[in-house]
Amino acid sequence: MSEEIQLHHNLLGWEFDDQNKRVQNKQGKKASETVKERHDIVLLFGATKCNPNGDPDSGNMPRVQPDSLRGLVTDVCLKRKVRNVFALFYPDGTPIPQDSPAQARYDLFVREGAVFERLLAKNNSLEARAKEIFMGYKVEGLTFDEKSWKLANPAVEKKTRRGKQSEAADGSEGTPEDSKEEAQPKKAGKAVDKRYDEFGERAFRDALCQTYFDVRYFGQVVSTEGPLKGSFYGQIRGPVQFTFAESLDKVLPLDATITRCAVASEKEAEKKDDDNRTMGRKFGVDYGLYRCHIHFSPAFAAKTGFTYYDLDNFFFALTRMFGDYNVDIAAARAGGMRLVGLVDFQHQSALGNAPAHRLFERVNVSGKRVERNPKMLFSRGNDEYSEFPAGLHDYDGEAPEGDLYFNERDGKLIPGKNKEGTSNITARLLVWPERWRRLGPQSGTAS
């Protein structure tokens, strides 16, 4: 990646000496460097009279927990929304014109109608990138050049790669004594060949990560077919992982019967009389406030090449991926989904400085209920009450902002800095409702 790459959005909160050249912050971190510290993220979003995630096994009805009737949105649904942002827009936020290529490093691997085997096996640019990466390796005792690439290229079947060597060995002349003398070097040669195979597969994996942003973000299994079939390097683990999103309270399912004043085929038209209407059903929820946790691992970021530039773009996608920006627009959820809260806990170390659950506990969002014996219900005014929320006004929340310090010895999480004046976690409220509380360093107590 070019050293001169710049952050488009600066959702990382960096400070620069020159705001017009956002390449490196005042602490010396560059946008092109891989992310070195752990992040734990809380994502809150609302769904109003729409279907946030339909279940195909239930006729596309909204997903719910069967015991609690709370709404669910799967992790893959949320990842799809991130993918959709960069399928439609360049990382700087400008739309991608029809039939135009994606920005370098931001091509999409898991796309509609994609055949992974075809993408992997018949991709000259991917193979050329893998070759470039392979020839850049430096390992004592191995030579990474054109000749060794021909032996290691995973896009070519192993039998074909080794064919010429086998033919030469089969056609050689010599005595049994000669064969014994040659046996040991041949074994050593096979061991070297295996090492070249490994580096060839690794180069192909790195080329995948550098080409496709969703592979670099979320990982991908490509070991079932194609050049990395059966290879360890075909099981790519991404640094960004979502949990299922669950609504904070029960959701009220909506089921509407709809009609269409036309038919799809002549056969259907013949079956109808004067009325060409066809019937259908549309599902949704009245309102649900959903919460999801996102975990970021710098160890896997180092393997896939996930940079601070990627992290900045990822935060941008999270702020734009719902229907209120019309990025994820669809008839089932047109304008009905909105981002409510986005809280990033940034650790100072790669392993992290506090357990994730201790940080998530500090983001407290709950419904504003009143007691109506024997239940706690949401007020609707005029002495009316409901067990279902009607909107964001039925919730209140608070979250820390700024420095935090977690003491591993006593397990206490302290707002602000410790007695020595140091902190090891920074809480950043990238998106937060105006009327909800922001707990600064002096607002809370140790927990």
What's the pLDDT score for residue 287?
A: 95
- Which H helix or E strand runs over 310? helix 308-320
Q: Is 10 left (phi over 0), alpha (psi -120 to 50) or beta?
A: left
Arithmetic mean of pLDDT, 14-20: 83
**CA 292 – CA 447 distance, rounded (Å):** 23
For residue 178, pLDDT beyond 60: no
What's the pLDDT score for residue 351?
A: 96
Pairing assessment for the beta strands 437-439 and 395-400 based on DSSP bridges: parallel
Are 311 and 25 in contact, with CB atoms under 8 Å apart?
no
Whole-number average pLDDT of the chain: 87
Higher pLDDT pick, 335 / 433: 433
Helices (H), 212-297: 213-218, 266-271
What's the pLDDT score for residue 445?
A: 55
Higher pLDDT pick, 329 / 250: 250
Arithmetic mean of pLDDT, 360-367: 96
Place of tokens 């649900």: 288
**CA 145 – CA 133 distance, rounded (Å):** 11
What's the pLDDT score for residue 272?
A: 63
**CA 228 – CA 196 distance, rounded (Å):** 14
The crossing angle, in degrees rounded to 10, of helices 75-88 and 308-320 is 100
Task: State the DSSP string of 155-201.
Answer: TS-HHHHHHHHHHHHHT----HHHHHHHHHHHHHHHHHHHHHHHHHH
Residue 16: closest CA among 8, 25, 28: 25
**Three-class SS string for 191-230?**
HHHHHHHHHHHHHHHHHHHHHEHHHHHHEEECCCCCCCCC
Q: Is 83 left (phi over 0), alpha (psi -120 to 50) or beta?
A: alpha
Higher pLDDT pick, 214 / 445: 214
- How many helices, marked H, and strands, marked E, lie in the chain? 11, 20
Arithmetic mean of pLDDT, 113-122: 83
What's the pLDDT score for residue 162?
A: 58
**CA 360 – CA 44 distance, rounded (Å):** 12
User: In a 3-state reduction of DSSP, which class is residue 62?
Assistant: strand
Residue 86 — φ and ψ, nearest 5°?
A: -85, -5
For residue 192, pLDDT beyond 70: no
Arithmetic mean of pLDDT, 100-128: 88
pTM of the full structure = 0.89
The amino acid that residue 252 corresponds to is: L
Q: Taking the CB of residue 25, how many other CB atoms lie within 10 A of it?
A: 18
Arithmetic mean of pLDDT, 96-112: 91
For residue 172, pLDDT beyond 60: no
What's the pLDDT score for residue 174?
A: 53
Higher pLDDT pick, 297 / 167: 297
What's the pLDDT score for residue 373?
A: 75
E strands within 222-381?
235-237, 240-242, 245-250, 253-260, 278-296, 337-347, 364-367, 369-372, 375-381
Arithmetic mean of pLDDT, 87-96: 94
Among 6-15, 88-97, 149-158, 316-325, whose mean pLDDT is lowest? 149-158
**CA 228 – CA 419 distance, rounded (Å):** 53
The pair of three-digit structure tokens given for residue 16, joined into one six-digit string: 């620069």
Give the confidence band of 368 by pLDDT, cuts at 50, 70, 90: very high
Within its chain, how far is the Cα of 128 from the centroid? Answer: 26
Pairing assessment for the beta strands 337-347 and 384-386 based on DSSP bridges: unpaired
For residue 170, pLDDT beyond 50: no
Number of residues assigned to the chain: 447
Are 200 and 134 in contact, with CB atoms under 8 Å apart?
yes
Arithmetic mean of pLDDT, 93-113: 91
Residue 310: closest CA among 114, 85, 45: 85
pLDDT cut 70: percent of the chain above it? 89
For residue 411, pLDDT beyond 50: yes
